Chains A and B, each alone.
Chain A
Amino acid sequence: MSGRVLVGVKRVIDYAVKIRVKPDNTGVVTDGVKHSMNPFCEIAVEEAVKLKEKKLIKEVVAVSCGPQQSQETIRTALAMGADRGIHVDVSGKDYENLGPLQVSKILAALAKQEDAQLILLGKQAIDDDCNQTGQMTAALLDWPQGTFASEVSLEGDKINLVREIDGGLEHIKINTPAVITADLRLNTPRYATLPNIMKAKKKKIVTVKPADLGVDVTSRLEVLKVEEPPQRQAGMKVETVEDLVVKLKEAGRV
């Protein structure tokens, strides 16, 4: 199988940052906060670049939907080895309401436009934890999907996949074109070396608007309120199992 791989990369708040809810409870504080590429997207990029290095695919195209700053995330993907980038410009209110359904529509449109053989995504984003984009994209395109992938290998025009599921590991074989979402143990993403960062400067990023792809990004969801999780209460120590049962009954847990 030769051809083009689309990799979706999302710009999210850095995993090490302590999240704070905005005082008006409409969302979390993002101004002045460090952002970086979603860790699962990094794994997806790494897998795509690996496939290219094995000469199993020809071109890796990094895609990100968001405001101007999303270009930095694309640039990081380029520094890791992607060939070019597509920035789908979504900003302001549209960006705040951007969710998996709209992104899936965008990715599906791009897959058709770019004649992609494979779409590689992270299994979920660490900000919304939706875990929906990969599945929705596959459904919109009517392509097979291999989600929570911990191993990917290409065999002719089919893909062998190992999925991490609750019961253990599932081995499946799917046709191409397909959508794959990366799980944690798929690989260890490489560092962008300094020479690659320099090379990334020369690679092209093209900006398009959702309307150009015929996608309407209006959201059918409205966020009513965002609040902090309840403060964690201190635990209690008990002496015997009988005490434990009494306490559990008191708390209405049993």
Chain B
Amino acid sequence: MAIPLVRIFSKSFKQLSRPWGACQAGWRSTSSRSVPDVASHHPAEVVSSFPPLQTYTEEEGMMREAVKKYAQERIFPLVSQMDENSQMDKEVIKSLFEQGLMGIEIDPEYGGTGSSFFSSILVIEELAKVDPSVAVLCDIQNTLINTLFVKLGTPAQKEKYLNRLSTDMIGSFCLSEAESGSDAFALKTRAEKHKDYYVINGSKMWISNAEHAGVFLVMANVDLSAGYRGITCFIVDRDTEGLEIGKKENKLGLRASSTCPLNFDNVKVPEKNILGEIGHGYKYAIGMLNEGRIGIAAQMLGLAQGCFDHTVPYTRQRVQFGKRIFDFQGMQHQIAHVATQIEAARLLTYNAARLKEAGRTFIKEACMAKYFSAEVATLTTSKCIEWMGGVGFTKDYPIEKYYRDCKIGTIYEGTTNIQLSTMAKFIDKEYNV
């Protein structure tokens, strides 16, 4: 059992350990040089064959620190105002691009950062601790849009879009419709073929980032009689005639993230704007959403942690009946319970990410991570408001925002019920002897 694990680790760490000048080859040296999460330093570090999940390469550690600092200084001051106005600040969007956070896995050849999936996950987690709306913008860009272009784009498409996606253009992923959410493949938006172009008609709903997106990846059906096997992915530029971006929803949470309906009225899209193959859109959607799921898990995880981090210091200061409210056993038990849930969510999320990087099957684990993290976020935020007492209920403190933001976690990118059903399918297969 140990040997395959070593090989897998060396495959995932190989790309990280090679550039180090004075470094020995192989994953062992990477894990002994990596900095554990709680920036502690063990001068005589024991080289472990199975490093804990919270083991990061130096590059991942540096990225996390950089994003943490950036989020605290550049995003935190604007969070409340962006939520109140339901508007993402343009400076925030600009600085996300400047920091290289919108093209984490894109090759430097196209202006990207050229880092790994796990780095994206860490970035999303750190951003979510400060503002889950900003985190979801970064998540969709990196795990859905960029991945689709990188995996499926023709050289011409990559040339045209990847540079822009990593430097100044936001993308939107358009699958859901008014009549098809979980039942995604029942989508009705159709694309009729004419010579060398298609005409798209229909409408989409619940499209994130739509307010600022420059490019839309639209799932439309070229042959409704073929059912889901007609679904095709089209690249539609924002300024295409007939594309109408509707008024954004007035939401309970994640308010700074724009969520708009889209209308397609005889939108002409050239054939060369098809991403991947005709009729394979359903496969791409499922594939990308499997990965995007881990990103959402990271977002919910960061949300829970951020909320928790704001609350515990308060419980250590607030004194009632002559002692800190943290010192009451009832509080301690609740706090410890929530901390455990967050830790478990973290391990599920990190493991799903590492499994994906290692090229192993990860779908069931990704479902588990997303489902569990969303539940933990709901529990954590609810409890945090209680622990804060009256002030937790006011907008003067950031807690109530986390409470409102977390709810969407159990709904978007695959509802909790869908996650559970997917997991059950895998479990069923596992016992099929």
In whole angstroms, how far apart are the Cα atoms of A76 and B35 in the complex? 14
CB interface residues, A 34-84, toward B, < 8 Å: 34-36, 67-69, 72, 75-76, 79
Set A35, A76, A196: member contacting B39, Cβ < 8 A = A35
Give chain A nearest CB distance to B75 CB in angstroms: 12
B66 at the interface (CB under 8 A from A): yes
The answer to whether A194 and B113 touch (CB under 8 A), given A72-B35, A76-B62, is yes
Give chain A nearest CB distance to B46 CB in angstroms: 15
B21 at the interface (CB under 8 A from A): yes
Say whether A197 contacts B39, CB under 8 Å. Answer: no
The answer to whether A201 and B59 touch (CB under 8 A), given A67-B43, A69-B41, A194-B115, is yes
Say whether B20 contacts A201, CB under 8 Å. Answer: yes
In whole angstroms, how far apart are the Cα atoms of A69 and B40 in the complex? 11
Say whether A31 contacts B40, CB under 8 Å. Answer: yes
Set A33, A36, A67, A75: member contacting B58, Cβ < 8 A = A75
Say whether A194 contacts B100, CB under 8 Å. Answer: yes
In whole angstroms, how far apart are the Cα atoms of A35 and B35 in the complex? 12
Give chain B nearest CB distance to A71 CB in angstroms: 9
A101 at the interface (CB under 8 A from B): no
CB interface residues, B 90-142, toward A, < 8 Å: 98-101, 104, 108, 112-115, 119, 123
A198 at the interface (CB under 8 A from B): yes
Q: Mark A195-216, 1 if CB is under 8 A from B, else 0.
A: 1111011101101000000000
Instruction: List the B side residues contacting A202 at CB < 8 Å.
Output: 19
Set B22, B38, B99: member contacting A191, Cβ < 8 A = B99
Instruction: List the A side residues contacting B19 at CB < 8 Å.
Output: 201-202
The answer to whether A198 and B101 touch (CB under 8 A), given A35-B39, A192-B66, is no
Give chain B nearest CB distance to A164 CB in angstroms: 24
Give chain A nearest CB distance to B212 CB in angstroms: 21
A230 at the interface (CB under 8 A from B): no
Say whether B108 contacts A198, CB under 8 Å. Answer: yes
A32 at the interface (CB under 8 A from B): yes
Instruction: List the A side residues contacting B108 at CB < 8 Å.
Output: 195, 198
Set B21, B67, B69, B114: member contacting A195, Cβ < 8 A = B114
Instruction: List the B side residues contacting A67 at CB < 8 Å.
Output: 43
Say whether B21 contacts A205, CB under 8 Å. Answer: yes
Set B20, B40, B62, B69: member contacting A197, Cβ < 8 A = B62
A231 at the interface (CB under 8 A from B): no
A240 at the interface (CB under 8 A from B): no
Say whether B114 contacts A198, CB under 8 Å. Answer: yes
In whole angstroms, how far apart are the Cα atoms of A242 and B69 in the complex? 51
In whole angstroms, how far apart are the Cα atoms of A69 and B22 in the complex? 15
A233 at the interface (CB under 8 A from B): no
In whole angstroms, how far apart are the Cα atoms of A72 and B39 in the complex? 11
A113 at the interface (CB under 8 A from B): no
CB interface residues, B 45-85, toward A, < 8 Å: 58-59, 62-63, 65-67, 69-70
The residue of chain B having its C-beta at the shortest distance from the C-beta of A196 within the complex is B100
Instruction: List the B side residues contacting A198 at CB < 8 Å.
Output: 59, 108, 113-115
Instruction: List the A side residues contacting B98 at CB < 8 Å.
Output: 193
In whole angstroms, how far apart are the Cα atoms of A76 and B63 in the complex? 10
The answer to whether A193 and B58 touch (CB under 8 A), given A31-B40, A198-B113, is no
Instruction: List the A side residues contacting B38 at CB < 8 Å.
Output: 32
The answer to whether A75 and B62 touch (CB under 8 A), given A194-B113, A204-B21, is yes
In whole angstroms, how far apart are the Cα atoms of A215 and B62 in the complex? 32
Residue among B20, B66, B69, B119 having the largest count of chain A Cβ atoms under 10 Å: B66
Say whether A32 contacts B40, CB under 8 Å. Answer: yes
In whole angstroms, how far apart are the Cα atoms of A89 and B114 in the complex? 31
The residue of chain A having its C-beta at the shortest distance from the C-beta of B74 within the complex is A191
In whole angstroms, how far apart are the Cα atoms of A46 and B310 in the complex? 32
The residue of chain A having its C-beta at the shortest distance from the C-beta of B36 within the complex is A32
In whole angstroms, how far apart are the Cα atoms of A31 and B44 in the complex? 12
The answer to whether A194 and B101 touch (CB under 8 A), given A201-B59, A204-B21, is yes
Instruction: List the A side residues contacting B70 at CB < 8 Å.
Output: 191
In whole angstroms, how far apart are the Cα atoms of A67 and B108 in the complex? 33
Say whether A197 contacts B59, CB under 8 Å. Answer: yes
Q: Mark B249-275, 1 if CB is under 8 A from A, else 0.
A: 000000000000000000000000000
The residue of chain B having its C-beta at the shortest distance from the C-beta of A32 within the complex is B40
In whole angstroms, how far apart are the Cα atoms of A113 and B352 in the complex? 50
The residue of chain A having its C-beta at the shortest distance from the C-beta of B97 within the complex is A193
In whole angstroms, how far apart are the Cα atoms of A101 and B114 in the complex? 42
Instruction: List the A side residues contacting B65 at CB < 8 Å.
Output: 36
CB interface residues, B 156-201, toward A, < 8 Å: none
Set B62, B101, B104, B119: member contacting A79, Cβ < 8 A = B62
9 interchain residue pairs of minimum CB distance: A194-B100, A32-B40, A195-B100, A194-B113, A34-B39, A193-B100, A195-B113, A201-B19, A192-B66
Interface residues, chain B, CB within 8 Å of chain A?
19-22, 35, 38-41, 43, 58-59, 62-63, 65-67, 69-70, 98-101, 104, 108, 112-115, 119, 123
- Given A32-B41, A192-B66; 8 other pairs, CB 8 A cutoff: A32-B38, A34-B39, A72-B62, A194-B66, A194-B100, A194-B119, A194-B123, A198-B114
Jot down 23 A-B pairs with beta carbons below 8 A, ordered by A.
Answer: A31-B40, A31-B41, A32-B38, A32-B41, A33-B39, A67-B43, A69-B41, A72-B62, A76-B62, A193-B100, A194-B66, A194-B67, A194-B104, A194-B113, A194-B115, A194-B123, A195-B100, A195-B113, A197-B66, A198-B108, A198-B113, A201-B20, A202-B19
